[in-house]
């Protein structure tokens, strides 16, 4: 079964989405190179890579769906897995870096948990 040629509007839309995704990924890469500390650098690739992935996903979803084989779910699944794993991984890496920076005495933001230094934990009140 041969692929059907796309209409002009579909070709332009697919090309625009893929190029936009590539431009967003390039901006994330430049942010990674330009920013100084780890805590600044970690945001650029994680947020922008997810946005770039979604633009490319929409382009590939449109392209493969218009080829006449039905809706293509594989780009959607890839983008969904990226959207779930990138923020979770980013949180774990930032927490590990923050823990390490605190252990080495670097200047980092204070604890925000209830049991951090300088905070008192009040026992729960009895309702009896």
- 99 inside domain: yes
| Tokens describing residue 112 | 């925000």
Q: Do the domain assignments include residue 93?
A: yes
Residue 109's pLDDT band, with cuts at 50, 70 and 90, is: confident
3-state DSSP of 29-70:
HHHHHHCCCHHHHCHHHHHHHHHHHHHHHHHHHHHHHHHHHC
Confirm whether 77 is domain-assigned: yes
Q: Tell whether 43 is covered by a domain.
A: yes
Residue 114 lies in a domain: no
Write down how long the chain is: 128
3 in a domain, yes or no? no
Q: How many domains does the chain have?
A: 1
What pTM was computed for the model? Answer: 0.69
Report, as an integer, the average pLDDT of 33-39.
82
Range of the domain at 97: 8-103
Q: Please, which residues have CB within 8 angstroms of residue 65's CB and are 6 or more apart in sequence? A: 71, 72
What percent of the chain lies above the pLDDT cut of 70?
84
pLDDT > 70? residue 55: yes
């Amino acid at each position: 079964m041969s692929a059907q040629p796309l209409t002009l509007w579909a070709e332009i839309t697919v090309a625009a989405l893929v190029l936009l995704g590539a431009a967003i990924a390039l901006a994330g890469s430049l942010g990674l190179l330009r920013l100084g500390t780890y805590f600044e650098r970690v945001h650029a690739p994680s947020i922008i890579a997810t946005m770039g992935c979604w633009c490319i996903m929409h382009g590939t979803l449109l392209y493969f769906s218009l080829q006449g084989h039905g809706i293509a779910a594989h780009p959607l699944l890839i983008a969904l897995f990226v959207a779930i794993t990138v923020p979770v991984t980013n949180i774990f890496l930032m927490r590990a870096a923050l823990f390490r920076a605190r252990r080495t005495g670097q200047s980092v933001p204070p604890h925000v948990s209830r049991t951090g230094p300088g905070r008192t934990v009040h026992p729960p009140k009895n309702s009896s």
